[in-house]
Structure formats: C-alpha cells, structure tokens
Amino acid sequence: MTNPLPQGATIGILGGGQLGRMLSVAASRLGLKTHIFEPGANPPAGHVADQITTASYDDVAALTGFAATVDVITYEFENIPTSALDTLEALKPIHPNRRALATSQDRLVEKEFLQSLGLNTAPFASVDTLDDLTAAISSVGTPAILKTRRFGYDGKGQARLMTPDDTATAHADMAGAPSLLEGFVDFSHEVSVIAARGQQGDIACFDPGENVHINGILHTTTVPANLSKGQSTDAVLLAARILNELDYVGVMGVELFVTPQGLIVNEFAPRVHNSGHWTQNGCVVDQFEQHIRAVAGWPLNEGKRHSDITMENLIGDDMDRVATLASEPNTALHLYGKDEVKHGRKMGHVNRITG
C-alpha cells in the first residue's frame, strides 16, 4: 500500500480497549472507519467503531472474516498470538511490522536489539533456571528486578531482589517462565518519547514527556519534561534510530531513564502509549491520529505542541472524582466507558492545560 487510504476505507484494530477506542475516534477525523477485533464482550473501542468482531485470537474463520472487511491492520497491544498474526499477515498489511512486535514482546530480544544499536540499557542477564539466576546476580548485582521475558505490563510479572537472599523467592515468583534479571539504574526521572514513522520513512516526534509511576502504573505525564535541550535532542534522535532500524510504520512509545551519564532506554512499545495521551490536548494532531496517518499511508503531522499539559491517569476509584474533575477549568476528561471499576484498572485520564 503506497497510496494513502481513501475516504471510507476501514482500518482493522486488534484489541478493543481504550487505545483502540481513541484510535477509532482519530480515524473518524480522517474519514476512515474502523473494525475492532476483540475477544472480550462490550469492548470500549466498540462504542465508537463501525464494526466489531467478538472472537478469540485462535478463531481462524473470525480472523479471516475480519481481514476481508479491512484495508490495513494495526493493534493496540503487543501480546498478540503469533498464530493470529500468521493468519492475518497472509491477507492484509499489518503495521507496525512483525519484527517490531517480536522485538518488543521479549524483554531479552528487546535489550539485545537496543544494545546492537549502541544504545544504553540497564545491565541484564537471561534467566531460565535457578542456576542462571545465581550467575545473573553475580554479573548484574543487587538490587535488581527479575522480570518475565514476555507478557509483563504495569509492573506485573516482576520480582525485586534487594539482596542475593531473595533469589529463591524471586525465582519461584516467575513460575518457571523464561526471565531476565535487570540491574537497578540510578536515574533521576523517567521520560518518554512518542515517535512516529510514516510509510515514506518520514519521522515526527512529539516533545518528550516526564513520567511518574505509582505502584508500577503510570500516574502522570508532564510536558515539557525536565530535560536540557541536548537531552531532548538525544531522546528524539535515539527514538528515530529505533524506528529506522525496524523499518517501523506507526507510533511507538520509548521509555527512557535520565541519568547523569546520559539516557538509558528502559523499553519501547510498538503502539500508541499511555504517556502520549497528553497530545490529545497539547497538539493539533494527537498520537492516535498520527498512528492512523502512518498506518493509512497519510503524511505525518509535524507533532508541534501548542500547550503545556499534565496528564493524570484515573485508576480504579479515581472515578469517584469525575464530577469534581468535570468542573475544573482547563481540564479535559477522557473516559473509557468501561463496564466495571476495578482496583488498578485504567478507567480514564485527564489532561490539564498548564500553560
């Protein structure tokens, strides 16, 4: 697909959560429709999509039917089963590509990829067995974090080792899953770059945002981030290097630790990213539309910021504050329409214009 998708074309989105929902809204601004593929009932993205398929990722007939109705396929999460991708890829283009997905799905592969580009990462070692873990602690040291290589998000699938005494407990926590030991990085703060690459290889990055996490879940993103001009430039160039190397099409979130010795790449996500939600009220074209533009073969927007913003996630019982938040000046609500409020569940976010 080299031409931009025309009016009325349909973008297939794997995953029906809040990211799919906001992608669907963005697609509508460009005159494009969306078709959501999601195993769960009443997905948030379904409220604003033209079509929904409710089926599991191993339902080949459903995947085939889905692919037949769409012009291009993208996704809102990186843990899509390989077999589903195999089925879909034979039928329609998928952006971002398989290599980006495969790289980000496995923390070990991701770290090795980043190092191959000459980028700095936390010290790490692969851990499959208890012996591996003992050896890893020798090389990486403690404190450290043991993480499953796959399927971790929002701090899940992780165990901290403050001293080597925690070895057995941490290993047991992984329940035999292939893992990675990561050394602690002494960073002052975390920032992320929301970067986009189009089908012509054009790249546009939004200004880096500064992230604060609580209990392993993103709490706020603030732009502009506390970065020197040089650090901002480094962050953007580094993100661009990742995108180019992967021949990437779409938006990527790249998380970086800021240290006195420079920027260290924590991880990247091959999709729109929670730390990019501020763009909805800080930029003329947000990360969701930027992703749709890339996937649909449209030109990217330059990504310029018109306002300073702090994004705050609304998690679980934070929803009790909605009535108050709705009355705050300079504050935009973005609620996800989820059926049920659960502890730790991302229910929405607010963007506050601060300048």
Q: Does 342 bind a second copy (CB under 8 A)?
A: no
- How far the first Cα of the chain sits from its last, in Å, is 40
Q: Does 66 bind a second copy (CB under 8 A)?
A: no
DSSP bridge pairs for 220: 212, 312
Encoded one letter per residue, x for contact with a second copy by CB under 8 A and - for no contact, window 152-191 reads ----------------------------------------
Q: Work out which of 1, 48, 55, 102 binds a second copy, going by CB under 8 A.
A: 48
Provide the 8-state DSSP code for 299.
P
Q: Work out which of 70, 122, 145, 285 binds a second copy, going by CB under 8 A.
A: 285
Q: Does 336 bind a second copy (CB under 8 A)?
A: yes
Distance, in Å, from the CA atom of 307 to the CA atom of 284, rounded to the nearest integer, reads 10
Q: Work out which of 23, 25, 70, 136 binds a second copy, going by CB under 8 A.
A: 25
Q: Does 46 bind a second copy (CB under 8 A)?
A: yes
Q: Does 1 bind a second copy (CB under 8 A)?
A: no
Would you say 347 and 336 are in contact if contact means Cβ atoms under 8 Å apart? Answer: yes
Q: Which long-range contacts (CB under 8 A, 24 or more apart) does 28-36 make?
A: 29/289, 30/289, 30/292, 30/293, 30/296, 30/298, 31/7, 32/5, 32/7, 32/8, 32/292, 32/296, 33/8, 33/9, 34/10, 35/10, 35/11, 35/66, 35/69, 35/70
- The minimum distance between CB 107 and a second copy, in angstroms, equals 34
Distance, in Å, from the CA atom of 236 to the CA atom of 134, rounded to the nearest integer, reads 37
Q: Does 332 bind a second copy (CB under 8 A)?
A: yes
Q: Work out which of 156, 213, 219, 304 binds a second copy, going by CB under 8 A.
A: 304
Q: Does 323 bind a second copy (CB under 8 A)?
A: yes
Q: Segment contacting a second copy (CB under 8 A): 133-141, 182-190, 217-225, 346-354?
A: 346-354
* 10-14 and 33-38 strand pairing: parallel
- The minimum distance between CB 233 and a second copy, in angstroms, equals 20
- The minimum distance between CB 147 and a second copy, in angstroms, equals 33
Q: Which residues bind a second copy (CB under 8 A)?
A: 4, 7-8, 21, 24-25, 28-34, 46-50, 281, 284-285, 293, 298-299, 301-302, 304, 306-307, 319, 323, 326-327, 329-339, 348, 351, 353
